[in-house]
Amino acid sequence: MPDSYSTSTASNTTTAADVADIAELRRVAVYLAETAAAHVRSRRPEVFGPGTRAADSVQAKSTPTDPVTVVDTEAEQLIRKLLDELRPDDRIIGEEGGGALNGDAVHWVLDPIDGTVNFLYGIPAYAVSVAAMRGGRSLAGAVADVAHGTVYSAGLGQGAHLIQPGVDPIPLRCNEVDSAAMSLVATGFAYNRHRRTRQGQLIAELLPHIRDIRRVGAAALDLCMVAEGRVDAHYEHGLNLWDWAAGALIAAEAGARLILPAPESSGAEGALVVAAAPGVADEMFGLLEELGATDAIPEG
């Protein structure tokens, strides 16, 4: 089974300076996510409103069904520009602009639009995800739910919160569910045909053991939904670092237990990501292992 990860408190060796640093990284992450989300929200009707779609507004990436839009690119460029101004010594890893983990510097891990297909079709489930990592560990993160104008955020050892306009931040906690049979589980599917086939088989094998399945189409939001108690678990194969770096921290700080791949691994390797409410984590992990779901599903 992949390595598990769970945290609701920072290391016992955390200093006051560390706490302040994490709080500042969290503040910056929220600012970046909110700013980029506002751009994405304003640009969608301009680019994809009735009669407005330009021929070059969407391109294919890994497969013809895996799109990237001009707004994805714009949003990442905006975040990179802001980071150059705010934290010029930090490094950046973005879904569209690339980058790699290297050394002990703070790395900002960006997904300018997680749920691009939803964005393209106008389904209100897409997000901007921003995480600050050091040494392969997420220190702070923010996931902005673009369509609903809300932001999930967390700092290592500082809890997870939902930020809504005009309301004090709301602390997030996982559901107190204690049975896999009563658990609502979120998942997602790859664009790669080989992996999708195996994922479909796993759904069929898992479904008799749980309450039901939800497929939202944005892994960062799925992980935040575990934190908020809107689902009880999320699992998916083949996520990239920018898909889970912020959402996994938010889920963990809300009490979830996680299985995560090595941060340097690529989505092509097909490793498993799981986040589960603490009362069902052992049972869910065991069930996934029994079904063979903890094995990676590399692209075929």
pLDDT single digits (tens) 163-221: 999 999 999 999 999 999 999 999 999 999 999 999 999 999 999 999 999 999 999 99
Identify the pLDDT of residue 8: 37
Compute the distance between CA of residue 228 and CA of residue 236 in angstroms, rounded to an integer: 18
Identify the pLDDT of residue 230: 98
Identify the pLDDT of residue 6: 46
**Global pTM value:** 0.94
CA dihedral 38, 138, 262, 125 (to 10 degrees): -30
Identify the pLDDT of residue 10: 41
Going from the first residue of the chain to its last (300 residues), give the mean pLDDT of each consecutive group of 10, the final group possibly shorter: 45 73 98 98 90 74 81 97 98 94 95 96 97 97 98 98 96 98 98 96 98 98 98 98 98 98 96 98 98 96
* Nearest CA among 139, 135, 174 for reference residue 153: 139
Residue 85, Cβ neighbours under 10 Å: how many? 8
Tokens 């994809």, located at residue: 48
Identify the pLDDT of residue 4: 52
